[in-house]
Structures are given as C-alpha cells and as structure tokens.
Amino acid sequence: MPENNDASAQGSYVLADQPYQRDTNYIETRITRDGLDGYPVEPGRYRLVVSYACPWANRTIIVRRLLGLDRVISMGVCGPTHDKRSWTFDLDPGGVDPVLQIPRLQDAYFARIPGYEKGITVPAIVDERSGAVVTNDFPQITLDFETEWVDYHRPGAPILYPADLREEIDEVNALVYRDVNNGVYRCGFAGSQESYDAAYDQLFSRLDWLSERLADQRYLVGDTITEADIRLFTTLARFDPVYHGHFKCNRQKLSEMPVLWAYARDLFQTPGFGDCTNFDHIKRHYYQVHRDINPSGIVPKGPDLANWNEPHGRDKLGGRPFGDGDPPPPLR
C-alpha cells in the first residue's frame, strides 16, 4: 500500500496529483448475539482500543458511554501520536496495555493475521482471551453496540439506532461521511489544487445543507440523539482546533456558522459527548503526526475553546436528547 506519513496506522494514503484515498478494507468480523462469526456477545471478553484523537474511535467512546457498555466492554487508550508502524500504549505505565500486555496495537493485529499489511487503525476490538483483533470496522462497531449488545445496555439507555428511522439515518450518514467526515481529509491530503478545490466545495456545500436541515430541528433525524448526530459531532468537534487551519477547510470556522455551532455546543454539553472529547489529544495528534502538512510538528496554542460551554439556545426547538431514557451517570 502506498504510504504517506502515517499510512500504516491510519489506513489511508496520498498519491501526487490525485485525490485522497481512504483504505476501507477493514477486518469485518462481527461480534453478534448468535456468534455467527465465531465471536458471540459476552460481557468481560472484549477490549475496545481507542485514541481520543481519532474521530472514528471517538464515536465508539461516546456510544459505549451513552449505552452503559463500559460495564461489560473494557477500554484501552492509546496516546495521541503514533509512528508509521502502529498506535502505542504510551499513556500506560511502562508503555504496556494493562489488560492485553502489549506495547503496540500492531501486536494484536499480528495475533489475528500474522504480518498484517493493511492499516493498524483505531478503533479496534480485541478478544482478551486470544489477544487478537476481532474487528476494526468502525462504522459497524457502533451499530453492533446499538443492536447486538442490547441485553447489556444500562437501564435508561437511549435508542441510538431506532428501527423506524434506520433508513433515514443510513441515508444521512452516507452523505455526511462522504462530504464531511471524510471530506475534511480529502481537503487536507489533496494531491492537487483541482482535487482540493472539489473537496472544499463539496464539504461546504454539505455543511450548508446541514445548517438548513438543523435550522428548525434539534437533531439530524427524529427528535432524539441518534447515531447520525454522533457521527457528525466528532468531525465538528475537530473543525476549529484542526480542520480549519491544518486541513485548509477555511471558508468559515465552525464558530462562524451559527446553526452548526449551536448544534455542536448542544451536543458537547450533553453527558456523553463533551466528557468524551479531549481537545489536547486531538490537536497533538494532527499537528505532530502529519509532518507532510506540518513539518515542524508545532502544535498551535489556539483557538480558545472555552466558548464550547456558552449557552446554545437549541432547547427552544424541543426534542428530548435521550428520548424516554436518561443521561449516563457522571464519569467515575
């Protein structure tokens, strides 16, 4: 696979004069109630490995917390930076994950597929018994948390992927992924002016569409938080600290887009979102790892992020964040 600065860890690459390409060849094994792929839902068996820096992993952190799956699925946290080989457990004593007893996430991939040549990505779910990665298919991981792990959701957990709204949620997610979640990367890693311009226009066209959609409704689909809001939030949270400058997504800052800015603050101030967001890790990852974009590795001090706690005023649109459920308890 062609490499950029961190291709093996991120599962993506850039070729000169070509649009950015994301490697989406994931390990698609699923953990299900029927155990069809050989991995049944089982409390205490699996470890979710994440980095707070990564937007895809951040989704799984949020969903795990909202549903109360922290009681049955442990979580290992990698540091905000990595090298070409792998994410590492440098936050843990001795640089070793205390459960898996490995220093690099790569070791769990190799335990599943010796010499694994694709991206060593987070999030990844590891079978604690074998020490091998089960899956790194991040779009499916959260959906399975919501549908296959239902028996272990906390009392009062929200329904994040309601059956009657799944078609609409899937449609919105597909557009947001193409134009926004991945669109910012297509801007930042564009190999030519032409590909950058196209990605830029597509990104802001979709953000305008989202602003119109959210002008009169509190959440993306229905009147409660769903999987769609979580997928959009993790990109919006990184917009001003990283994507606006680092990825040249600079028509406007998020804080200059009134509807999306209020929407993002509404979610940030909801238990399970802001308390699962680490701006320090986010900034350190992008600015220190992407040396082809930021050769010095200097991490900017700004922007001031205290404004995330300013009143959002979205309550007037109605909606019930957790539906008939309750917010998760405070973090321990």
Is 26 marked active-site?
A: no
The residue among 224, 218, 231 whose CA lies nearest residue 173 is: 231
Catalytic site residue from 13, 26, 46, 54: 54
**Is 87 marked as binding a ligand?**
yes
Residue 248 contacts residue 20 (beta carbons within 8 Å): no
What phi, psi does 93 have (nearest 5°)? -55, 130
User: Greatest CA span in the chain, whole angstroms?
Assistant: 55
Q: Which residue has the tokens 């009657």?
A: 164
- Distance separating alpha carbons of residues 223 and 320, to the nearest angstrom: 6
Q: Which helix (H) or strand (E) holds 229?
A: helix 227-236
Helix (H, G, I), strand (E, B) or coil at 245: helix
Partners of 82 in beta bridges: 87
Read off the DSSP letter of residue 125. E
| Sheet with 132-135: strands ordered across | 74-77, 46-50, 124-127, 132-135
Task: Assess whether 54 carries a catalytic annotation.
Answer: yes
Question: Catalytic: which of 26, 161, 185, 219?
Answer: 185
What own/partner pairs with CB < 8 Å and gap ≥ 24 does 320-327 have? 320/223, 320/224, 321/158, 321/224, 321/225, 321/270, 322/156, 322/158, 322/224, 322/225, 323/158, 323/159, 323/224, 325/156, 325/157, 325/158, 325/159, 326/155, 326/156, 327/270, 327/271, 327/272
Residue type, 214: L
- Binding site listing: 87
- Binding site listing for glutathione: 87
Catalytic residues: 54, 185
